[in-house]
Amino acid sequence: MDTTPRAVTRLIEEFHRLPGVGPKTAQRLTFYLLRAPKTQAHALAEALVQLKDHIVTCALCQNIAEENPCAICRDDARDRTLICVVEEPLDVLAIERTREYHGLYHVLHGAISPVEGIGPEDLRIGELLTRLRREPGIAEIVLATNPNLEGEATALYLERLIKPLGIKLTRLARGLPVGGDLEYADEVTLTRALEGRREV
């Protein structure tokens, strides 16, 4: 007979549904919150409710935001001739942290993955094509999908759809990470680094 209180079991189950949270981690998080001050548990619950009640998807770039359109799409200082296509909202944050990119974005919300049953129709590709046809003056699309099988498949698919529109297509450079050793780099990374070499 299970003597664990139902509220505890339910929270463990809910934590376990989150990606990357195994049963042991779900238990640790639950028992941490059980010992934490009531105010901390209430703050977490309130943050979760606010996340679902106040976050929207930008109708233009498909990024997450508190307003529609989002702050990036509303910013007149951004280069409106340039759109960087990324897989997830987290990728926008990563690129923005560099402070080197000043164009607009389009978030696909995933990548093509037949193994996981994710096809082009499951991504925000239709919205991208509509945007490219509707917004005049777009000169370049930067394909910034991840350098893995799914990201490459997505980039190739987008390439086939966008090239006929006559818009310049570029990809993020691939190569060796700063601080990495050549001996630990895989063959694909070294090949990309050699292909993308620059004059010094």
Q: For 188-200, what is each residue's pLDDT tens digit? A: 777 777 777 776 5
Give the N- to C-terminal CA distance of the chain in Å, as an integer: 72
Q: Residue 173's pLDDT is what?
A: 81
Q: Residue 1's pLDDT is what?
A: 61
Does the domain at residues 7-54 carry the CATH identifier 1.10.8.420?
yes
d(CA 176, CA 179): 9
The mean of the pLDDT values for the chain is 92
Q: Residue 182's pLDDT is what?
A: 67
What tens digit of pLDDT does each residue of 145-174 get? 998 899 999 999 999 999 999 999 999 887
Q: Residue 183's pLDDT is what?
A: 75
d(CA 57, CA 7): 32
Q: Residue 131's pLDDT is what?
A: 96
d(CA 55, CA 113): 27
E runs forming strands in the chain: 56-57, 64-65, 79-86, 103-107, 140-143, 168-171
Specify the pTM: 0.83
Q: What class has domain 78-171?
A: alpha beta
* Residues with Cβ within 8 Å of residue 163, at least 6 apart in sequence: 169
Domain ranges of the chain: 7-54, 78-171
Q: Residue 186's pLDDT is what?
A: 77
Low-confidence ranges of the chain (pLDDT < 70): 1, 182, 199-200
